[in-house]
Structure 1
Amino acid sequence: MQNERPSLSFWQIWNMCLGFMGIQFGFALQNANVSRIFQTLGAKIDDIPILWVAAPLTGLIVQPIIGYMSDKTWGRLGRRRPYFFYGAIVTTAALVVMPNSPTLWVAAGMLWIMDASINVTMEPFRALVGDNLPNRQRALGYSLQSFFIGVGAVVASSLPWILSNWFDVSNTAAAGVIPPSVQYAFYVGGAFLLGCVMWTVFTTKEYSPEQLAAFNDDAQANTTIDTTQVINFARTLVVSGLSGAAIIAAVGVMDLEKELYLLGGLLLAFAMLQGIAAWQQRQGYTGNGFFAVVHDVFTMPKAMRQLAWVQFFSWFSLFAMWIYTTAAVTSHHYGSVDVTSKAYNDGADWVGVLFAAYNGFAALAALVIPVMVKRVGIRIAHALNLLLGALSLASFLVISDPAWLMLPMVGIGFAWASILSLPYAMLSSALPSSKMGVYMGIFNFFIVIPQLLAASILGLILKHGFANQPIYALIIGGVSFVLAALALTRVKLNH
């Protein structure tokens, strides 16, 4: 009986990770263009964060569910591949419909659908690396995923610009109409995503549950988690419940901004979930998926808890960059807030090129980062990359020529590639194979929660602290990168 996962060839790992390029193609189109679509359909600057809440909220809900389900799945398409297959089909359909949205609220609804289906497809890809590769090849697997993320996003982010400048497709349209260059970019993206994911589905094999159980090369493979362990949910239930109720009451009594309802509602929802889990624990109903996920949140490995703060501040920065770069560059560097003007649309196209550039630099960084890790260690390498990202975001305020904005894309590319690979490399040895999917889904909480917080408060901070100037959202993002680097000093590794 095989006791250790066999090493895979480079091309087997290539095929296994290729689908991630397609997923990132759709994700990059979303990141670079959805704010533009929202503004075109009439959204105001301070409305954009709350409209973007669909993306992180669907991830918060979908990823742990899909992770838990994929841990328990085995069928004709295997364990993780059914989620690739069906998620890719729905994502492709959403990409086709999104740029044809007739109203702002239709576009917001399509973002929910698109992001939910991307999450269904994306989450099992992280677990697949842990399933199929031995420990010694996992760093290569995650680095190759980062490489594909960079390559796919380069083309996707720049597609509207390419179509406009190389194929003479118009990048302007009547008020309230999405420009043709954006529409066609989404059509191409849908086809590319579907093709890449299906390549992985039909060229990659998975180990059966019996084969996975026989492997002992995972450092934590024999770790058992006692789901009957009694957890005291009361303290966090009371704190989150009272905090949520207080925030909601304050919004009503003090006439605060309505975005804070989201923050209060999330805290109340968290309290409710803990209450349900506490009741199930008392009744002995602990054999279901809901209790297992909530229980795992409170009993996650120590390394995962330590990395949570690093992820929190890292993704707060990224979300600030994604939702405000278009508004920041068009207003601060191109001097226009009129979404029908040529200056605004030229600036929005340039943001697509900048996003393509940082993803291109990320693809190159994915080849350099393993060398950095070997030289200075994984924690210092990640901290250096985060600080480079902080400096790059801050430079947007002092750079006046839009062409020179290409320079900070190098630092952002290194930070992005590092965020996509090194936290997972630090975490992978702490996760039992039997729960790889659900823990990867729970780890996503620390990606999603900061994005929800950003959607709740960034608009308020800009409105009351910075006269609604979106360029300062990028400065806030830079500060958050610094905090992420500082949080790394608390991370203790066992290897």
Structure 2
Amino acid sequence: MEMQTHALKPRLTFWQLWNMSFGFFGIQFGLALQNVNTSRIFATLGTSMDDLALVWLAAPVTGLLVQPVIGYLSDNTWHPRWGRRRPFFFLGAVLATTALFLMPNSVAVWMAVAMLWLMDASINISMEPFRAFVGDKLDTSQQTAGFAMQTFLIGCGAVIASLLPILFADVLGVSNVPVNGAVPDSVRYSFYVGGAAFLLAVTWTVFTSTELPPPDLDRFEAQRKHSRNFGVALREIMSGFAHMPKTMVQLAFVQFFSWIALFALWIYTGPGIADNVYNTTDPLSPGYQNAGNWVGVMFAVYNGMSALAAFVLPVLARRTSRKACHAVCLAIGGLSLASVFFIHDKHLLLIPMLGVGVAWASILTMPYAILVAALPPNRMGYYMGLFNFFIVIPQIVSGLVLGWFTKHMFGNHAVLTLVLGGVSMVIAAVLALFVTDRAERAAH
């Protein structure tokens, strides 16, 4: 694959990095509310334990279709005022806000699945161009810092969003009990706040950030006209698989095992904690709903830890290497996730969430910082979208097999599925040691 030279780009100030990344603060409201509450919503509407992973499949299948297409389209978009990536930020935010308002008002499982599909597709429309945005605007020397800023704002947004249900229930006195099989008001109001935050934060980035025009605008316009042909576009999208850089292939295996662990975390922490700590498996019981609120606290802790770790990771990476830093963080996260099995006090559960937060910070930062140096600048958005196949594929695998493991191997004790996720993350840590980091090799 022919590589283009990365031109030297202006060094941005802290606040310029903040503004270009602030949209992720809002995006994470959507993702955190989805991750914390989707299993709870499905269970409240009557989904059985062994079907939970299957109904979650709507999200990764959507990503499989949307991510490379959005990346390709954003690569081939340019407007003198709106730029290349920002139109997608804004369109995704409008659609995601709509989904966040509708999701907690679902009256049946099929409606919740449809809203999950819309929500995940919309979040991807906003989120995928944000990764390429860093590669577009920042010189190599600032790219790790750029992804770390995104990780910090992701953590901040996720902390607030994860705590919303328990804040509404315990502080504001909003009902936390399902009535006639409907989603509790505490969850519904949380999604309304999340939808508003998503739209406002992304709009901030759209109007406070600028984009660099293509270096050769005439050539870009000629290529864009060529890419409008459907056959050409489809061929270019599919051809990327055969031309993935070596570093991207190596990172794909790391991502595969990392995201199996994360999908297990998001699907099974709620029912696992309800069973292991609150001694209930009845989704309509007060104990189950209280467990759902406490999972929000647990997720707030790991996201808060990730926000703090975001600014430490670049320092550790400089003193060691990015792949070694990533491997250590994944190992800490995997062991922490597996340890949840041994804990029966809800307050002590916050300790392993610190380790999960360290891994989450690294997952959001290091793979992208390593990858961006190996990608051609003119196809940054496409390859970032394609790279997320290796987030989506393990989620689909998880959706197909984790339910079977939970039911047939673990006797419907979901906490054991979390142990399996921890083992998967440790495997990812070992694989991270074998990744080739082109930027660090060039520096030496």
TM range (shorter): over 0.9
Give the corresponding residue for 1:354: 298
User: If the length of structure 2 is used for normalisation, what is the TM-score?
Assistant: 0.93
CA distance in structure 1 between the aligned counterparts of 2:190 and 2:139, rounded to whole angstroms:
38
- Kindly state the Cα deviation for residue 289 of structure 1 after the two structures are TM-superposed: 1.3
Q: Secondary structure at the match of 2:112?
A: helix
Q: How does 1:179-194 map to 2 (within 5 A)?
A: 179-194=184-199
The reply on whether 1:406 has 2:410 as its aligned counterpart is no
CA distance in structure 2 between the aligned counterparts of 1:308 and 1:142, rounded to whole angstroms:
18
Query: Compared with structure 1, are the counterparts of its residues 5 and 178 closer, same or farther at alpha carbon in structure 2 (3 Å cutoff)?
Result: same
Give the corresponding residue for 2:206: 201
366, 371, 376: which is aligned to 1:427? 371
- Kindly state the Cα deviation for residue 204 of structure 1 after the two structures are TM-superposed: 0.7
Give the corresponding residue for 2:427: 483
CA distance in structure 2 between the aligned counterparts of 1:305 and 1:74, rounded to whole angstroms:
29
The reply on whether 1:377 has 2:377 as its aligned counterpart is no
Q: What are the superposed Cα offsets for residues 150-206 of structure 1, whole Å, 9 maximum, x if unpaired?
A: 000000011000111111111112241110000000000000110000000011111
Q: 1:489 is aligned with what amino acid? A: L
- Kindly state the Cα deviation for residue 322 of structure 1 after the two structures are TM-superposed: 0.4
- Kindly state the Cα deviation for residue 40 of structure 1 after the two structures are TM-superposed: 0.4
Asked whether the equivalents of residues 306 and 490 of structure 1 are also in contact (C-alpha less than 8 Å), the reply is yes
CA distance in structure 2 between the aligned counterparts of 1:153 and 1:11, rounded to whole angstroms:
21
Give the corresponding residue for 1:464: 408
Q: Secondary structure at the match of 2:59?
A: helix
CA distance in structure 2 between the aligned counterparts of 1:32 and 1:384, rounded to whole angstroms:
26
Asked whether the equivalents of residues 324 and 473 of structure 1 are also in contact (C-alpha less than 8 Å), the reply is yes
Give the corresponding residue for 1:292: 236
Give the corresponding residue for 2:149: 144
- Kindly state the Cα deviation for residue 341 of structure 1 after the two structures are TM-superposed: 1.5
Identity %: 52
Q: 2:156 is aligned with what amino acid? A: V
The reply on whether 1:12 has 2:16 as its aligned counterpart is yes
Query: Compared with structure 1, are the counterparts of its residues 330 and 460 closer, same or farther at alpha carbon in structure 2 (3 Å cutoff)?
Result: same
Asked whether the equivalents of residues 332 and 355 of structure 2 are also in contact (C-alpha less than 8 Å), the reply is yes
CA distance in structure 2 between the aligned counterparts of 1:192 and 1:295, rounded to whole angstroms:
38
Q: How does 1:47-196 map to 2 (within 5 A)?
A: 47-75=51-79, 76-196=81-201
340, 345, 364: which is aligned to 1:396? 340
Asked whether the equivalents of residues 323 and 437 of structure 2 are also in contact (C-alpha less than 8 Å), the reply is no
21, 25, 28: which is aligned to 1:21? 25
299, 311, 319: which is aligned to 2:263? 319
321, 330, 339: which is aligned to 1:386? 330
Asked whether the equivalents of residues 321 and 474 of structure 1 are also in contact (C-alpha less than 8 Å), the reply is yes
CA distance in structure 2 between the aligned counterparts of 1:382 and 1:3, rounded to whole angstroms:
27
The reply on whether 1:302 has 2:306 as its aligned counterpart is no
Asked whether the equivalents of residues 174 and 340 of structure 1 are also in contact (C-alpha less than 8 Å), the reply is no
Q: What are the superposed Cα offsets for residues 97-123 of structure 1, whole Å, 9 maximum, x if unpaired?
A: 110011111011100000000000000
CA distance in structure 2 between the aligned counterparts of 1:380 and 1:340, rounded to whole angstroms:
45
Q: What are the superposed Cα offsets for residues 32-72 of structure 1, whole Å, 9 maximum, x if unpaired?
A: 00100000000000110010001111111101000000000
Q: What are the superposed Cα offsets for residues 400-433 of structure 1, whole Å, 9 maximum, x if unpaired?
A: 1111000001100000000000011111111111
Q: How does 1:203-218 map to 2 (within 5 A)?
A: 203-210=208-215
Asked whether the equivalents of residues 142 and 421 of structure 1 are also in contact (C-alpha less than 8 Å), the reply is yes
Higher alpha-carbon Rg: 1
Asked whether the equivalents of residues 410 and 417 of structure 2 are also in contact (C-alpha less than 8 Å), the reply is no
User: If the length of structure 1 is used for normalisation, what is the TM-score?
Assistant: 0.84
Count of residue correspondences: 425
Give the corresponding residue for 2:223: none
Q: 1:144 is aligned with what amino acid? A: M
Query: Compared with structure 1, are the counterparts of its residues 431 and 323 closer, same or farther at alpha carbon in structure 2 (3 Å cutoff)?
Result: same
CA distance in structure 1 between the aligned counterparts of 2:165 and 2:421, rounded to whole angstroms:
26
Give the corresponding residue for 1:259: none
Q: Secondary structure at the match of 1:117?
A: helix
Question: Which structure 1 residue ranges, 5 or more long, are not aligned?
Answer: 215-284
Q: Secondary structure at the match of 2:311?
A: helix
Give the corresponding residue for 2:226: none
Question: Which structure 2 residue ranges, 5 or more long, are not aligned?
Answer: 1-5, 220-228
Query: Compared with structure 1, are the counterparts of its residues 286 and 360 closer, same or farther at alpha carbon in structure 2 (3 Å cutoff)?
Result: same
Asked whether the equivalents of residues 321 and 477 of structure 1 are also in contact (C-alpha less than 8 Å), the reply is yes
- Kindly state the Cα deviation for residue 319 of structure 1 after the two structures are TM-superposed: 0.4
CA distance in structure 2 between the aligned counterparts of 1:213 and 1:303, rounded to whole angstroms:
32
Query: Compared with structure 1, are the counterparts of its residues 354 and 30 closer, same or farther at alpha carbon in structure 2 (3 Å cutoff)?
Result: same
Q: What are the superposed Cα offsets for residues 133-162 of structure 1, whole Å, 9 maximum, x if unpaired?
A: 111111110000000000000000110001
CA distance in structure 2 between the aligned counterparts of 1:175 and 1:336, rounded to whole angstroms:
20
Asked whether the equivalents of residues 150 and 362 of structure 1 are also in contact (C-alpha less than 8 Å), the reply is yes
- Kindly state the Cα deviation for residue 4 of structure 1 after the two structures are TM-superposed: 2.4
CA distance in structure 1 between the aligned counterparts of 2:131 and 2:197, rounded to whole angstroms:
20
